[in-house]
Structure 1
């Protein structure tokens, strides 16, 4: 009997111990479940803004056009519902900038159509402002009869070209635009869409009486304009004193930069994992079509370098490899290009550009034009404390333009979302805009050779502009002034402007 009781007590204790362990197990599982749910809630909250922006971009991708009657800039009744929906979505995330671009058909003069297209874009902007969207979130431009959606051969087709189109950027472009007025010595600013940009410049204040700029121009086909004359430029300086607006004209002097001037190029090359369609860090991957196209384009660029041109190559992935100094030797550049040093990993885009801008070899030599050509297929994610502002400052200090090239047709299993593609383009556009260069988007690897050739042509066909103001009409030291250049490019006027403090 005693043995039976002892055995029964043991079974009872064992069952109790088992129940306790099982109870603790249930509590542990419950704790983990609550923790996971909390984390998922936190993550979904953190990305709610981005998700809503993604939905907005998706909706704009399918219906992103407002149409207008012939010769009119007034909104049609059917436009209001689209704009109301757009306004409602934008209010959920005001970190993004909406680019509003107006167009016309080919009826009427070019100047009339340029003006009409801008009026149409402003009609959309003013309505969105009336619904509560801040003006600083809206950027308008008019493209006139350029870039028709369809040929103008019939009235039905022309009706489709009388339109306003929307495109989004993220806050990188907005911050980049505002950054222009943060730092002295940055470029003139001209409004542009993600697709095209026609004039850009690095800007310097030499004295009270003179400002200078390295000016690059291209036409609607993206080709350099090399027929500019001093009489095609009108310069005006404006300011306000005690509520009274005043101004004075400037005398422009134009010097073409041709192949007789020394040019130093830094080419940054993206060897991150996405270039191989693989983010695992596998260093035995074979070169993809994108890698081969990038290398082939850089080789062609080296082939085209003239006697007065210097170059160097910077390769990057998550790390940025040390580069040689500038060299005129094509064989040395070919050797750097062929080195089997593949960084892989993430994309240290900002740091690679910053390192290219840090080279001070020709900083004190005004006869050397310096340019960085930055290529990537992805988006910045590995540069640590290097920011867009860091790039803008260094570009200003080193007097170096940055041309950016984006190839966003991914390989492998990864496919970027539409909002991510928008951010990639906005990043590259912002860098180019704020450093005096241009952004080129390659739709396929085959486009790269032509783009690199165009950039070389663009640099060699740029201009040095000096504007001298009438010293007797200038405002007192410390006055905020606005310098404005109106440039007539093949019958179309482009405007560049820059605010600065009078010395």
Structure 2
């Protein structure tokens, strides 16, 4: 099964409303059946804060395929809070040998900040990894247990099984009830993958198939768009699966707490999205199609898309 996700924005004609001068969008979608898709949608402003007043009237969805065919779907968007959904986040923590002690402290403080900001009913899982992947605490809403897990000491310090940790988090998040939770993975690392037992393609396909967006945080001196660089890899993982990428330099790692709080705010400002395609005009089963979701907010436009094989 083939998937591609991409998110983008267009601010050629910005109009300021509630202080919003630009928007970005991304999200995860899964095919429920031939005529229905559902998932999670994130819309943020220039400060990475959630835009919280998006309605179905702001969102359009188009399905297209290579024979120049296309249809427009009916979209239903609801804030996750309105639908009663809580947050289920699998949080991965890097304890590979390249992580210095002060950086580990920053990472742990950042995750603790996320735990503190959890709302009633939210659940979190703690995953620690080097070349081994350890579930230090399964999903729970007990903040005491979560903080104990963050402080737990394992004999780690080897290589970096980043993909394996995301794969584990995706599988565990997927087991949480989709009708009760907005599910995601929050993945942290200070460097590149070099130890996983699953491939990058397998990790991404798993996230896309299960509809689990992956937020990524890179503790990196600079962002490089060079193919094979850790920064580009982390950004692509987030862009492709429906999350967002954050970078922070090691010498300012104390700012990680703010990044984790920002992610928490974005998750709490997420939307559930359902799309219905007109059955009479769809292409044959087995056709490669592209679903494009476009958000328009007072002359500001952002979009994301998913390519998949229609049932």
Alignment partner, residue 262 of structure 2: 454
Match of 1:266 among 78, 87, 90: 90
Does 2:156 correspond to 1:343? yes
Match of 1:311 among 115, 119, 124: 124
Give the match's secondary structure for 1:378. Answer: coil
Q: Give CA-to-partner distance per residue, 1:362-383, whole Å, 9 cap, x none.
A: 3554322221111111111122
Residues 240 and 349 of structure 1: is their aligned pair in 2 closer, same or farther, counting only changes over 3 Å?
closer
Alignment partner, residue 280 of structure 2: 472
Q: Which has the larger radius of gyration?
A: 1
Q: Which runs of 5+ in 2 are unaligned?
A: 10-21
Per-residue deviation, 1:391: 1.1
Match of 2:300 among 492, 496, 499: 492
Alignment partner, residue 331 of structure 1: 144
Q: Give CA-to-partner distance per residue, 1:197-231, whole Å, 9 cap, x none.
A: 92211122222322223111212222222111111
In structure 2, C-alpha distance between the alignment counterparts of 1:254 and 1:272, rounded to whole Å:
40
Give the match's secondary structure for 1:218. Answer: strand
Match of 1:400 among 175, 198, 212: 212
Does 2:244 correspond to 1:438? yes
Per-residue deviation, 1:386: 1.6
Residues 498 and 321 of structure 1: is their aligned pair in 2 closer, same or farther, counting only changes over 3 Å?
closer
Structural RMSD (CA)? 2.7
Alignment partner, residue 15 of structure 2: none
Residues 497 and 326 of structure 1: is their aligned pair in 2 closer, same or farther, counting only changes over 3 Å?
closer
| Contact 1:187 1:202 survives alignment (8 Å) | no
Which one has a larger percent strand, Structure 1 or Structure 2? 2
| Contact 1:197 1:438 survives alignment (8 Å) | no
Q: Which has the higher contact order (CA 8 A, sep 6+)?
A: 2
Alignment partner, residue 195 of structure 2: 382
Alignment partner, residue 71 of structure 2: 248
Give the match's secondary structure for 2:45. Answer: coil
Give the match's secondary structure for 1:199. Answer: strand
In structure 1, C-alpha distance between the alignment counterparts of 2:225 and 2:308, rounded to whole Å:
35
Per-residue deviation, 1:322: 3.7
Alignment partner, residue 50 of structure 1: none
Q: Give CA-to-partner distance per residue, 1:52-105, whole Å, 9 cap, x none.
A: xxxxxxxxxxxxxxxxxxxxxxxxxxxxxxxxxxxxxxxxxxxxxxxxxxxxxx
In structure 1, C-alpha distance between the alignment counterparts of 2:223 and 2:5, rounded to whole Å:
33
Question: What is the 5 A alignment of 1:15-94?
Answer: none
Please give the TM-score of this superposition, normalised by the length of structure 2: 0.85
Per-residue deviation, 1:405: 0.4
Which one has a larger percent helix, Structure 1 or Structure 2? 1
Please give the TM-score of this superposition, normalised by the length of structure 1: 0.54
Question: What is the 5 A alignment of 1:104-503?
Answer: 182-183=1-2, 186=3, 188-191=5-8, 198-239=24-65, 241=67, 245-258=68-81, 260-276=84-100, 287-288=101-102, 290-359=103-172, 362-363=175-176, 365-383=178-196, 385-409=197-221, 423-443=229-249, 444-503=252-311
Q: Which runs of 5+ in 1 are unaligned?
A: 1-181, 277-286, 410-415
